[in-house]
A = this chain, B = another copy of it.
Amino acid sequence: MLDDGLKAAGARVRAALSEALAPMGALPVVAAMRYATEGGKGLRGYLVLESARLHGVDETTALPAAAAIEAMHGYSLVHDDLPAMDDDDLRRGRPTVHRQWDEATAILAGDALQTLAFELLAGAAVAPERRVALISGLARAAGARGMVAGQAMDIAAESAPEPLSLNEITRLQAGKTGALIRWSAEAGPLMAGADPAPLGRYAEAIGLAFQIADDLLDVEGDAGEMGKAVRKDAARGKATFVSHLGVAGARARAAALVEEACAALVPFGPEADSLRQLARFVVSRKT
């Protein structure tokens, strides 16, 4: 059921992105932008649509914001995969953008995907002050206090003399993956002019659970099934939730976070069942 919802939402978000990219012509950089937004699970776009639905915002209105977060996420993956960053050849079961094209195209495609995210939000059919709230929130989530801070900490950790503490990893991940996930869940209330705090708490918990699951998958997952390299953390001697807590401890922590996320959904009643399923999915997923 969640799976159907994710798939259907993903198709509509991809269609919205495709429509936004169509007038940009046939340059390789535009093809690379499209490629970089394909093939993912679409969790962030789904969170935008579901948080919007919970606040009475119809899907047509919410779609630009859902497309925006998938563009922003796509940009972050393209740049993160670059040789100077994580140097990955495989993403979502396909060659990474710089392998499929070249590094220059990957840099530019990532750059233009970030720009596109803000362009989409500026064109959303909600009141201008709500568009500004979406834009301002996404800029804070993506910038040097949010996602980029997490990525920079991640890079700094590679050459640090000591492995990161559990607290440091938690802060790093709150930026690197947590900030965009949180914005996705806050987008619905922001579009409705409602309080984003309850869904913000929900998203903070699932964001962290998502990362713990990622660390577990790096240890236990299958590269073929996942469409990307595994066992990278241990090979690099990288401190992760699993290296600190062990497999059983990490699993228990992820389960506790799912409970925490669901507790934040109580005010929304059964309408929020899709978000409850999503919380369970992020820790049980195999890819």
Contact = CB atoms under 8 A, between A and B. Distances in A.
A25 interface: yes
B116 A29 contact: no
A201 to B, nearest CB: 23
Contact of A122 (B84, B116, B139): B139
Q: Which of A119, A127, A149 has the most C-beta atoms of chain B within 10 angstroms of its own C-beta?
A: A119
Nearest to A27: B152
A156 interface: yes
Nearest to A98: B84
Contacts of A115: 114, 139, 142-144, 148
Contacts of A28: 152, 156
A246 to B, nearest CB: 30
A66 interface: no
Interface of A: 21, 23-25, 27-30, 33, 75, 79, 82, 84-85, 102-105, 107-108, 110-112, 114-116, 118-119, 121-123, 127-129, 131-132, 135-136, 139-140, 142-145, 148-149, 151-153, 155-156
A148 B108 contact: yes
A111 B142 CA distance: 9
Query: How many copies of this chain?
Result: 2
Contacts of A123: 136
Give the most central of A23, A122, A149: most B CB within 10 Å.
A122
Nearest to A137: B122
Contact of A118 (B82, B139, B151): B139
A139 B112 CA distance: 9
A267 to B, nearest CB: 28
Contacts of A142: 115
Given A128-B129, A145-B23, A156-B28, A84 B111 contact: no
A287 to B, nearest CB: 26
